[in-house]
Each structure stands twice: as structure tokens, then as C-alpha cells.
Amino acid sequence: MTNSLPTVTIDIQRSPSNGEGPDTYGNSPNQVSLRREESPPGSGFWKFKHQSHGGQAFHVKEVVSGATPVSDLNQSENIEHLAVWYYSGDSYMDKPLLIEIGKKDGKYEYHETKGTGWTSFGGSSQSQLKGEDLERKLEYLNCQYHKLVTVNLSHDNSQTHFNDRTKYCCDKDHKDGYKVTVTSGKVGKGTSDSQEIPYFKHEVDPGISVAGIYYTVGGERKRIKIPNLENSGNGSVKFYTFYSNNGSKEPRLIYVDCSSGKGNVTGWYEPNPTGGDNQPWEKLQGVLQGKHPSDIKAGKDENYSQYIEALNCKIYGQCTEPTESSSPVPGPAGLPGTTTSSITSVSSAVVQPGAPADQTSEEPALEETPKPEKLFGFIPASMAGYVFPSVFGGSGAVGLAGYKLLKNSRDPWVRQI
């Protein structure tokens, strides 16, 4: 090994002391510069990139993890960087997943974890792993060796594994058994003439933690972030997923049933109204709050019709039309009294769905009403103190001025369907 270039020792367990870096460690003149970034962006995986402090190519004398030598990683000459990936939830940084060695000639070499050591793959001179290919590799390693599964709520994936009675996990080559079971069901089962709204349920085995959630539309991956799900622990987690009936069949509403962990994860969630697949989904307030999908049945609850109307509004865009009454009431927070708003159903009739049969068929589409969305059955958490009569079951009322503000589809309080 020539000595014209810096010869350094790389510590793959090291993290920048100031967050993302850069941070410097080692002894001059063989110091190492360390930076951290989320890679791919929004994926939940951290990339720690080690380079020569001077920015030039360098030799690697030794790779260690803390005080422990990593014997599977040999000396490397004339490289630009060495990078290592960790799952963002690995706070102790003791479960590295993937190592990338960037070479002077622009090619790359990769090593993946095998649980207690490392193994190379793809040869010593290959193109760089990027984007979804990189993300899938990291998800597979996280699941295979560390019991951290990424849930795929794509409608096609749900339908395929339901029809085939097969479980899934992180990759078709996954060993030691798949971790997620898909079944179908319907909200609203009860009397013969009651409406039934179909869903797919993804159930993660006990002892497995959820690292992430995504679905695909037109080949594009979109992430779903549920607040505090990273604290769900190792108990069973179930995702009751309700899909739009347009061509994309995107998830529109999810009920998360989490049996353990911290943060009160259990509840109904909808996409963030600001848009963007990296925005956390929002927990619903209002008429559905505290109701499990299996409890919404005709004849079981006097508020059944309100639950069904709320679901139709959020999932299919079939919302009821608010109308004004002439009864004056005091306004909230000392505001002058105005007329109240009541909720009267005047929009399109709801088609009785056949839905996916309990264990055999695919759910049919309900017509999604192409009309401006209306607020129904839900309120932002910031307005949880003000409730509509009859729909929210409360005793307070929002004045007509407040109603008109909420009704305006351009107002940021109005949730997206």
C-alpha cells in the first residue's frame, strides 16, 4: 500500500456530534470527515458518509465498529468515500445494514449485513444503488435481520395476497417466514339492506415492529407516515385500509389498531391536507373517533347512519349538504348569536356495494361524486371544542359565520378527501 494518500481508520458506529455534520475524527494528518443524511430522502434510513478530511482520495487501514474491528471488511485503497446505512430507529447504531465504497474510478462496491458479519454482493465494480432500488434493499435487510417490516398498502398488493391466501414481507427471497397477513372485510354488515363499505386488513405478526408504510400509484412509491407508530413496540398492529374507487385506488382512510407501545396510535387517519407523501397522516376527530370498524353495523348503534355517511364522505367524496336553520343560538367564545347549521343529506344516493366477498372476490367500485368537497363528520383537532349538533353528538354549536368559513373549500381548515 502506498503512503502518498491519507491512510485512515473508519469507525462505522460513529455519528456526527452536531447532528448532520460535518464532524471530524481521527489524528492529523489522517483525519476523517463524517456527514449524515437521510437516503433516499424520506425513507427513514440514515446514510453516514466517511471521507478524507481534506477531500482527496484515501486508503482505509482498518474498519471498526466502536472498539471492535470489522474483520469482514478488508483494507481499501484509493477510494473516495465509505458510507454505511442504519435504520433511523436504531438509536444505539448497533445494527448496520449496508456499506458502500465509492472508488476513484467512479464505480462502487457494496457489502450487506448478514446479521453478525458482512458479505459482498454485485461485484467490486458496479453502478451506484439509488432511489427505490436502494430503498428496497435497505427494507429487505431491516426485515430479514432485525424484524422491522415495511408494510405495502397498495391495492394491487392487498388484492393479490388476499386472493392467493399468502403472507408477504420485505422481499420474495425473504427467509424464516413472511410477517404480514392480508384479509378483507366490510364495515356496515348488519341487516340485509344496510350499506357495506369494503376494506383490506394488513396484520403484522406479534414480535415484529413496523419500520414504514407505503403504497404505489402508477409505479410511483408514496409513503404513509403515522405519528408515533415508531413507538408501537412488538405487539400486533393492524391496518384497516379503505380505498378510493377511482382508477388509482389510493388509500383514503386507515384505521390503525395497535395493541402495544406508546403514543396512543390506535385510531382513524387520513392524508395530510397540505399534500405530499412525506407529510404525516392526521388523526381524525369527530363522529368516528373511538369507533372500531367492526363496531359499525346496522342495528348495533343509533348513530350507524352518521358513521356510514362520514365514511362515504371521506372515502368516496359522497358528502351530505349542510343546510341552514333559523334557530338563533349564542355564538362560541362570546361571539354574537347566529343561526345554527344542521346537516341534511341532499347529495347523491349511495349505491349498495357488493364489496370484496368475505374471502373470495374483489370489491366493486362505488361512484365517486365529482363535486366540491364538504366538511362532514370531522373537525381539526384545534377546533375540537366546537361541535355541530346531530353529527358530532355535542351540545355546542358553530355559528353561521363559522360554518361558512368551514364550508369554503379553499380554507385550510377544510380537510382534503
Q: Which grid coordinates are listed for 266?
A: 390506535
What does the alpha-carbon distance between residue 225 and residue 356 come to, in Å, rounded to a whole number?
27
pLDDT at 146 (0 to 100): 92
Averaging pLDDT over each range in 180-194, 346-360, 385-399, which range is the top one?
180-194
pLDDT surpasses 50 at 332: no
- Under 8 Å between Cβ of 123 and 153: no
What does the alpha-carbon distance between residue 147 and residue 156 come to, in Å, rounded to a whole number?
24
Distances (CA, A) of 180 to 206, 239, 350: 10, 10, 33
Q: Which grid coordinates are listed for 354?
A: 357488493
Tens digits of residue pLDDT in 157-177? 999 999 999 999 877 666 677
pLDDT at 321 (0 to 100): 72
Terminal-to-terminal C-alpha distance of the chain: 63
Amino acid making up residue 312? N
Residue 191 confidence class, pLDDT cut points 50, 70, 90: low
What does the alpha-carbon distance between residue 139 and residue 303 come to, in Å, rounded to a whole number?
42
**CB atoms inside a 10 Å sphere around CB 150:** 22
DSSP 161-224: HHHHT--B-S-TT--S---EEEEEEEEB-SSTTS--EEEEEEEEPTT-EEEEEEEEETTEEEEE
- Under 8 Å between Cβ of 156 and 95: no
Cα 404 off chain centre by: 33
* pTM to 2 decimal places: 0.75
* Alpha helix (H) residue ranges in 16-79: none
Residue 190 confidence class, pLDDT cut points 50, 70, 90: low
Averaging pLDDT over each range in 23-37, 230-244, 400-414, which range is the top one?
23-37
pLDDT surpasses 90 at 371: no
pLDDT surpasses 70 at 208: yes
Taking residues 70-84, what's their average pLDDT? 92
Averaged confidence pLDDT in the chain: 79
- Under 8 Å between Cβ of 195 and 187: no
Tens digits of residue pLDDT in 100-153? 999 999 999 999 999 989 999 998 889 999 999 999 999 999 999 999 999 999
